Amino acid sequence: MRLNRLDLSRYGKFTDSVIDFGGTPATSPDLHIIYGPNEAGKSTTLDAILDLIFGIGSSSRYGFLHPYATMRIGASIEVAGQDREFVRIKRQQNSLLDGEDRPLAEGLIKADLGGIDRDAFTTMFSLDDETLENGGEGILASKGDLGELLFSASAGLSELSRQLLSIRAEADGFYKYRARSGLLADLKSKLAALKAEREALDVQASDHERLIGERDRLSSLYDEVIAERAGTQRRIDEIRHILHAMPTMARLLSSRERLAALLEVPEPPENWRQELPGLRKAEIEHLVKRRDISRSKSLIEDEATGIAPDPVALRLASRMDELAELKARYTTAQKDIPKITARAAELSIESILLRLGKSGETSPTRLVLDAATVGKLRGLIGAKSGVDARATAADDELAKIEWLLAEEHSSAPQIETVTPDKVKAFEYLAATMKSVPRSDDVVALRSIARRRDGSSSALSEALARLLPWRDTADRLAAMTCPSAVKLENWKVLFKRGEELVWTTRGELERLEAESKRLDAEIEVMRGQVGEIDEANAVTVRADRERAWAAHRERMDAGTADSFETAMRADDHLASQRLAHFSEIGKLNQLLQRQASVRSEVETGRDRERRALADIEEVKSAISEQAQKFAPGVSFSLDPFDLADWLRRREEALKSRDELLSVEQELGDAEDRVNRAKRTLMEAMSRVRVPFHQDAEIASLVAKAEEALDAFHAAVSSAQRIHRLQKEYVERQDAAERASRASRSWKTEWEEVCGGCWLGELGAIPNTGSVTEILSTLENLASAIDAREGLIDRIQKMEKDKAHFEKEVLEICGLLSIVPDRSANELAQEIAERVRDAGLNEERREKLSGDLDSLRVDERQLQLSEEMFDARLRVMLDYFGVTTLAEVESHMELARQRRELSNTILDLEHELLQTTGAPAISLVEKVVAAADRQELENELARLTPVLEDQDARCRDVFHARSNAEDALDEIGGDSKVAEIEEQRRTLLLEIGESAKRYMELRAGVAAAEHGLKLYRDRHRSGMMARASAAFKTISRGAYQGVAAQPGKDGEVLIAVSAAGGSKAANELSKGARFQLYLALRVAGYHEFVGNRGPVPFIADDIMETFDDFRAEEAFKLFAEMAQHGQVIYLTHHRHLTDIARKVCPAVRLHDLDVIGAQRQFDVVAAE
C-alpha cells in the first residue's frame, strides 16, 4: 500500500486542500516530511489518513467547520499492485466510494494490511508519543495486540491467538483440573440424580395397588360432597335474589303512583325544548332593538342639518401640496439669503493676491497656472532632493575609498614575490593538513588500545565460563558443533519425554490408588451379600448340570441326593441374586472398573518405559556428539544445558572476533598516524618551513598552520588593495555623473519658471518659494469658484420668494380673504380653511352612511319579528294555549311524565335480571308472597352449612390429589426403563464430550508449540535488526538490546557500549523512546518482508531526541523508505534541514502552503 495523493476536501480546518506525494521513486527513498507550525493541521492530516482507510467514527472532533453530512476525504492509493481512487464520507454504511462516488467494499482499501484493524495499524505503523511507548516491550514477548500482530500478521496468522484462547475456553468448559463447575460435573450430577430416582421407584412399587384403590374411593367421595354443596349454594342464591328484589319493587310501585297523578299532555317534539330559551330571548331582543333604531335615526338627522358646505375650499384642496412646497422654499430663502450674502462678502481675493505679491492684479484668473506647468514644477521640486543626495553621497564615497586605500598601503606586510610554484607548494601543504589526523585521532588511538585490553579480559572471562572445557579460542572456533535444528529436536524430544514421564507417573499413582479402593469395595460388597457374583453363579449352575447328568445316567439314591444338593445350592444362589439385584449390578460394575484400571496401569507403565527409553536415546546421541567436538570432556547430557553451553561458546567467539577486530583497528590507526607525519614533513620542506625531525605530529601541525596563516594574510592584503583601487575608479565616475545631473536640473528649472508669470518676479525663485506660491494659487482658484456659486444661489432664492407671494395672493382672492398680513400668515389661514371644509364634508358623508345602515337594520328586524310570530303560532296551536308561558308549562309536564315512564321501565328490567324470572308479573307474585324475616333466618342457617361443605370439599380434594401424586411418583412399568435410557444417553454424551475434550487439548498444545517455534525463530531476526537500529540511533552509546526471563515473561534489556546493561524502564525518556523506535523499525522490516509495503507514519516522535540522534533516526527512516513509504509530521523547522542532509531526495510538504489554498478563521484540532 502507498499513498500517491491525499485530498482533504472537507475535513477539519481543511477545504479543498491536496497533499501530493507523487509517484514511487525509482531509486531514491520514498521519504516525506510534512511540516507545519502548531495548529497548522498535522494531527488532522494523520487522523484523516486513518479515517480514510478505516472509516470515520460515529462521532468526530473534525466536524467543527464542515457538518458531518459534508465531510469528505479522498486519495489515490497504490493497493494490490495498482493505483486506485478512493473517497471516504461520513455515513453508517457504504461510506467508501470510488472516484465516481460509487460504493466499494471495505476489503479493497485494506487488501495489503494482512487483516489488521485500526487499533493495530495505529500501534504498529501510525506513531505518536503515546503509541510509541505503549506496547514497546510487547513486541519482543509477543504480548498484547502489537506483539501478536507483528508476528501473526507477518505470517498471515491474524487472530490465531484469539482462536486458540477460544478453543481452550471450550475445553475448560467441559473439564478443568480442580474446578468444581463444568459440563462433566453437571453430567455426573445428573447421573447421581437418576440413580437415586430409580432406587426410590424400586422401593415404592409394592404400594401401587393400594394407592389405586385409595384414589378411586376419594374420587367418588369428592363427587358426592360437590353435589351437596351445589344444592346449598342454589338455595342461598335464591333467597338473596328475593331479598334484593324487595326494595326495587317498592320503588317501582311508587313511580307508578306518581305517573298516574300527573295531567296528561301531548308529547312535544324533542327540539322544542332547545328552542324555547331562544324564543324567550328573541322576544326581548326585538323590543329593545326597535326602540334603539328609532332613537339613533333622530340623532343623526339632527346632526347632519347643522353642517354647512364650502365648495370653493374643497376645489382648492388639490393645490395645497404645491403651496406647502413653495412655502418651505420661501421660509428657507428668508433664512439663507442673509447668510449666503455674508459668506460671499467674506471671500476676499485681495488678501490672496497680496500674499502672491500681485496686489494690483486686475485679472486674478491669469495668475492660476495650468496643470502641465504645475506638474513640471512639482516634479522638479521632488527630484531636487535626490539629485543633491546623489552628488553628496558620491563625494563622500570617493573620499572614503581614498582613505581606505591609504590605510591599506601603510599596513600591508612586506612579502616576497608570490610565484606560481610557491602557491602550489602552499596549496599542497593545505591539502596535506586536511588529511593529517588531529588530536582527537590520537585520543581515539589511546581509546582503541584500552578497548583492546578490555576485549582481551572479556575473552578470558568468556573462556572461563566454558568449564569443564579448557583450551584456546582458536580450538574453540574450530569445533564442529551440532546444528540448531538438531539441538532443537533433542530439546523437543527430551522435554516431551520428561513431560510424558511426569504425567504418566502421576496417572499411575492415581490409578494404583483407584485399584486399591476398588479392591476394598469389592471385598466389602462380597462380605455383605456373599459369593453371588456372576462367576460364582456360573460355577454353581455348572455343578447342578453335572449332578443332573450323573443322576440321569445312574438313577440311584446317591446321585439323587447329589442332584438335590446341587439344585438347592443353585436355587439358593438364584434367590440371593434376586434379593440383592442392585448389589449384584454394583458388584459387576466394580469388577469391570477394576479390570479397566488394571489395564490402564499396564498401559501407563509401558508408556513410562518408552518415554524413559526416548530420554536415554537423546542422552546417548548428545554424548556421542560431545565426544566428537570435545573428546575427553564430560558434558551434561541435558540438551538444555548443552544449548546453554553452546550459547556461552558463541559469546566467547564473539569476544574473540571483537578482540581481533580491535587489534586490527589499532594497527591501522598507528599506520595512518605515521604515514600522515611523513607526508606533513615533506610538505613543510617544500615551503621551507623549519622543523625538528623527532617532533610530535601535533607540533608539526602547529608550525604548518602558522606558515599557512602568514601566507594567506599576505595574499589577502594584496587582493584587498587591488579591489580598493578598482572601487576608486568606479567612485570617480559616479561623482562626475552626479555633477552632470545637478547642472541639468538647474537648466530645466529656469526654463519652466521663465515660461509663466513666475519669470516676472525678477530673480528665479528657489524650490521653497515656488512650493508656497503653488499652495497659495490653489486657495485663489477655490475662492474664485466659491464666490460665483454663492451669487447664483441668492438669485434662485429671490425667484422662489416672489412665486410664493404671487400664489398666496391669487388663492386669497378666490376665498375672499383680505391680504392684510404677511405671506406666511395668509398661507396658514388658507390651509386651515381648506382643512375645515374637507373635515365637514367627511362628517356629512359618514352621517349619511350611518343613516343607511340603520334603515337596513330596521328592515332585518322586521323580518325577524315575522319569523318569530310564525314559529310561536305553531306551538300555541299544538298545546291549545295563547301565551309563550303556557307553552313552557305544558312542556315541563311532558318532561316529568317521560322521566317517570323511563324509571318504571328501568326498575322492571332490573327486577327481571336480579330474579331471572321470565315476566314481571311472576316477580310481583313472588315478592308479594315472601316474608322478609323468614328468608333472613333461613339464610343465616344455610351460611355456616355452606362453609362446612367448602372445608370438606377441600379436604377430600387434597387427599385425592395426594393419592394421585403418590401414584404418579411410582409410575408405571415404563418409568424405570425411561430412567435407564436417560442414564445411558448421559453416559454416551460424557464419552463423546471427553473425546472432543482430548482432541481440543491436543490440538491447542500442538498449535501453541508450533506458534512458539515460529515466533522464536523470527524474534531472533527482529532482535538483531532492533539491536542494529538502537546502536545507530544512540550513536554507539548502546551496543544493542537483549531479553532475559522475568516474573511476568521476558524483560527488555539495553546493553551499553561499556558492557553494562539497563532494563528498559530504567532508561531516560529519550533513550527509552529511541529503544522503542528501534523495535518498531525492526517490526516494520519483519512485516514488510513477509506481507509487502505499507505506509509508516510518525507524528513528532523526536521531541526528546537531540540533533545528532535525530539525524541517525532519519537515516533509519531513509533505509525503511527503500522498502515502503515513510511519512514524518513535525513542527520543528530544523528537523527538515536534518532530513535534507541525511536524504537529499526527501520530499517536503508545507501545510502553510497547502492551507493557503483557502482562507480559514478556525483553529485545527492539534
Per-residue pLDDT tens digits for 531-556: 566 667 678 778 878 888 887 787 77
Which position has the higher pLDDT, 845 or 1123?
Answer: 1123
| Whole-number pLDDT of residue 1159 | 44
- Confidence (pLDDT) at 197: 72
Mean pLDDT across the stretch 897-920? 83
The three cell numbers locating residue 703: 608550525
> What does residue 89 show for φ and ψ, rounded to 5 degrees?
-120, 165
What pLDDT does residue 205 have?
46
Helix (H, G, I), strand (E, B) or coil at 702: helix
- pLDDT in the model for residue 969: 63
Does position 436 have pLDDT exceeding 70, yes or no? no
Q: What is the pLDDT of residues 1106-1124, one digit of tens each?
A: 888 889 899 999 999 999 9
83-105 pLDDT per residue, tens: 999 999 998 888 999 988 899 98
Q: How far apart are CA 933 and CA 946, in angstroms?
A: 20
Name, of 82-91, 308-317, 1005-1014, the range with top average pLDDT: 82-91
pTM: 0.36
Res. 974: pLDDT tops 70: no
Whether the predicted pLDDT of 568 surpasses 80: no
CA 144, CA 138: separation in Å to the nearest integer?
A: 6
What CA–CA distance (Å, rounded) separates 1102 from 128?
A: 9
pLDDT over threshold 80, residue 193:
yes
The pLDDT score that the predictor gives to residue 215 is 76
Reported as a pLDDT band with limits 50, 70 and 90, residue 1047 is: low
pLDDT tens, position by position, 152-167: 444 444 456 667 777 8
Q: Are 911 and 249 in contact (CB under 8 A)?
A: yes
Rounded distance between C-alpha atoms, residue 152 and residue 1007, angstroms:
13
Res 1116: pLDDT: 92
Given a contact cutoff of 8 angstroms between Cβ atoms, the answer to whether 1164 and 44 are in contact is yes
CA–CA separation, 654 vs 651, rounded Å? Answer: 5
pLDDT at residue 144 tops 50: no
**pLDDT attached to residue 1160:** 40
CA separation for the pair 426, 681 (Å, rounded):
13
Q: What letter does residue 308 receive in the DSSP assignment?
A: P
Residue type, 753: C
Residue 232 scores a pLDDT above 80: yes
pLDDT, average across residues 191-204: 68
In DSSP notation, 382-421 reads HHHHHHHHHHHHHHHHHHHHHHHHHHHHHH--------HH
Q: Say what the pLDDT of residue 1045 is.
A: 57
Q: Which triple of cell numbers denotes residue 168?
A: 481452550
Mean pLDDT of 351-377: 72
List the beta bridge partners of residue 127: 1098
Q: What is the end-to-end Cα distance of the chain in Å, rounded?
A: 26
| Average pLDDT of the segment spanning 745-760 | 76
823-879 and 270-305 helices cross at what angle (nearest 10)? 150
Q: How confident is the model at residue 655 (pLDDT cuts 50, 70, 90)?
A: confident
Please check the confidence at residue 334 and state whether its pLDDT lies above 50.
yes
Contacts of 865 by beta carbon, 8 Å cutoff, 6+ apart: 286
Answer whether residue 971 shows pLDDT above 60: no
